[in-house]
Amino acid sequence: MSTKEISSAALELPPEERLELARRLVESVVEPASLKEAVAEGIRRIEDIATGRVQGLSEEEYRAALR
């Protein structure tokens, strides 16, 4: 199976399963513990936004926060 075929199949999964797949893929290539913890935190934050637990910023809000 090619990467393109795998990607297409993965994108058809429900959001929760895509998040789990993403977590497993990242964990499979990350070795250092500190980096692994940072990636895990990033994934948790993405999940918070994807599941609606946290509302993300609009692009305008993001740019305003950088000023």
Give ∠ CA 11-9-18 in degrees, rounded to 5.
40
Consecutive 10-residue runs of the chain (67 residues): their mean pLDDT? 93 93 85 76 90 90 89
Q: What distances in angstroms separate CA 2 from CA 5, 7, 8, 38, 59, one per listed residue?
A: 5, 9, 10, 29, 35
Asked if 15 and 46 touch (Cβ cutoff 8 Å), the reply is: no
Q: How many domains does the chain have?
A: 1
Write out the residue range of the structural domain in which residue 16 sits.
3-66
